[in-house]
Structure 1
Amino acid sequence: MTATESLPVTMGRRLYFQLGITLIVLAAAGWMLAAHRATLDNGTDRLAAADGEWLALACVAAVATWVCAAVAQQGAVIERLPRGRLVAAQFAAGAANHLLPAGAGATVVNLRFLTRCGLSTRRSATALAVKAAVGGIVRCALGVALLVASPGTVRLSARVPHALVLLPAAAAAVALVVAVSGRLRREVRRAFADVRDVHRSRARACALWGGSVAFALLHAAVVVAMVHAIGLGLPASRVVMAYLVASGAAALLPTPGGLGSLDAALALALTAAGAPGPAAVSTVLGYRLLTGWLPMAPGLLVLALLARRSAL
């Protein structure tokens, strides 16, 4: 079997693996919902009586996340992209991301959009990888900055310093694998060349990093607004930290749009931050409604429209 023939087999196995993980997570989430039905009902009732002004603010923050995603995507490439279609593509990618596991929906939509804009497949994939890497770095940096600015936000256990020792070891292992593989070395050199080209332009670098920071903070702002909407008096620093920790933990499970994994992680993080169970459930439901469920149908319509106009 040649490398070309084995590629569909490998992709098929990976898809089945991700699908299996998704089904396991969804089954576990369903079991948890059934076991805590009273808490879910209480949280739903509390959300129905939420403050309208805070809900409106949460809606504005949710809509702004798509604009920030478009700004970050523009910053990851040198070529100028059509602004209107770029924002529409991010909106459509958000809807597609809730249909396929591990962010594959958003990746496919953005990859197709960039190639339609004239970029090669390799450069398009590199731009998406750069954007994703910057997004991860930004979330970690925001978490560290929040801990420095508000030391009482999270009580670090004695095990945390020992766990941090694993980070350099993991980085060294990745560097060793890249050094041994000639193909990986070439790909990494090309990726770094693209990153250097992007950062030679101050405007592009500011768009990439600024858009990524704003994207993460606006998602956290949706959660903060939902917390205030239901009348929960949690400090904003704790809520932002809870979101950063939950979103990082949910990225480890390849479920569509973090379905089940992000919900459980965010509810647990809010509970650990001091929120009662029903209030945490209300916050998660509100966040999910504004960032995922309500935009789903219009996002799919935009996706179909972009495909019909050959923008994807």
Structure 2
Amino acid sequence: MTPQAPAAASTRRRTYWQTLLALTVLIAAGCLAHWHWAVLASGAGRLAVADHGWLLVGATAVTATWVCSALAQQGAVTRGLPAGRLVATQFAASAANQVLPAGLGAGAVNLRFLMRCGLPAAGAATAYAVKATAGAVIRGVLITLLALACPGALRLPQASGGALVLVLAGVPALLLAAARLWPRCRRAMAAVLTDVRAVHARPHRVAALWGGSLAFVVLHAVALIAVTQAVALPLPPARVALVYLAASGAAALLPTPGGLGSLDAALALALVAAGAPAAAAASAVLGYRLLTVWLPLLPGLLVLAVLVRRRAL
């Protein structure tokens, strides 16, 4: 058996379980759609007569997110990247992300692009990880600020005694695993920290990384707010933004392609829990997903094919 055989077998098993989980979530989403078809049909009808001006605002915000994503990715590396190809790569990555689960599509496209631009594999992975981490930090800060501004908007579940026991039992296991893996990870972590320091030593890269990450998240929230205004959903914009941030964070835990099913359900449930009528919430989610997924999907895949053909990926 070759040394690569165990790694290949592990990759196949991981892909199998991820695919199985993705299919399970999609089937569950299909069942929910069947059971609540009357609400979905009402939401679609309401979207058809929505305010087109607000929908145009949402579409403009979604289009700008690809530029912001490119800006954040440029801020995560010290060398200059070709601006046009970088923006096109983010557009293509958003389409690839709808095909593969758990962000694998966007990650693969971005890593390939960075390596084509001359970064080593480890440097490309670090740059993408830095960008993803900045986005996660921005989301956490915004959720905290909006939760303080809208008290009571987020209702966190009470922790049961069993869950508390599981958490307390898991902490020592995590510490033990970290202690065993630390010698192997120390060199890799040192290389990552070196790259992070190099990026943050340049003020214009810091502004691009954090400014682009902030604008990306804010514009997605603006897109959902615009759709809710288009369908006259009776929720204030700050609460809608908080709902989007919380629901998208929860949906990221389920590895479905583009959050299909998981994000839709999380957004709809969060909007209803925040006080929106079910039909209005369904139409808002349908409109948001139309702008962010279905309309850009085919053009994004075509751009991806062109980038591959031109060996930019």
Answer yes or no: same fold by TM over 0.5. Answer: yes
Alignment of 1:1-312 (within 5 A): 1-155=1-155, 159=159, 177-181=177-181, 182-312=183-313
Deviation at 1:171, TM superposition (A): 8.3
**1:213 CA displacement:** 1.0
Indicate if the aligned counterparts of 1:178 and 1:185 stay in contact, CA closer than 8 A: no
Q: Aligned partners of 2:137, 2:16: CA distance in 1, in Å?
A: 29
Determine the C-alpha separation between the residues in 1 that align with 2:170 and 2:139: 19
Given that 1:154 and 1:238 are in contact with CA atoms closer than 8 Å, whether structure 2 keeps it comes out as: no
> Aligned letter for 2:193?
F
Whether contact under 8 Å (1:89, 1:110) holds in the other structure is yes
**Long gaps (5+) in structure 2:** none
What RMSD, in angstroms, separates the aligned Cα atoms of the two structures?
A: 2.3
How does the TM-score come out when normalised to structure 1?
Answer: 0.93
What is the deviation of 1:285?
A: 0.6
State TM-score, norm by structure 2.
0.93
Gaps of 5+ in 1: none
1:167, 1:115 → 2: CA distance? Answer: 39
Distance in 1 of aligned mates of 2:230 and 2:34 = 26
**Shift of residue 131, structure 1, vs aligned partner:** 1.1
CA distance in 2: counterparts of 1:274 and 1:239, whole angstroms? 11
- How many residues align? The count is 311
Give the SS at the match of 1:183.
helix
Relative distance call for 1:150 and 1:84 in structure 2 (3 A) is same
- CA drift at 1:150: 3.2
Residue 156 of structure 1 deviates from its aligned partner by: 5.5
Q: Mean Cα displacement is larger for which, 39-48 or 209-218?
A: 209-218
Deviation (angstroms), 1:152 = 4.5
DSSP 3-state at the match of 1:62: helix
- Supply the distance in 2 between the matched residues of 1:38 and 1:252 (Cα, whole angstroms): 28
Change in CA separation of 1:59 and 1:166 when aligned onto 2, cut-off 3 Å: farther
SS of the aligned residue for 1:192 comes to helix
Runs of 4+ in structure 1 displaced over 2 angstroms? 1-5, 148-160, 163-180
Structure 1 residue 246: Cα displacement:
0.7
Identity across the alignment (%)? 56
Deviation at 1:47, TM superposition (A): 0.3
Following the alignment from structure 1 to structure 2, what is the Cα–Cα distance between the partners of residues 102 and 157?
25
Write the distance in 1 (CA, Å) between the matches of 2:207 and 2:175: 28
Does the 8 Å contact 2:114/2:124 carry over to 1? yes
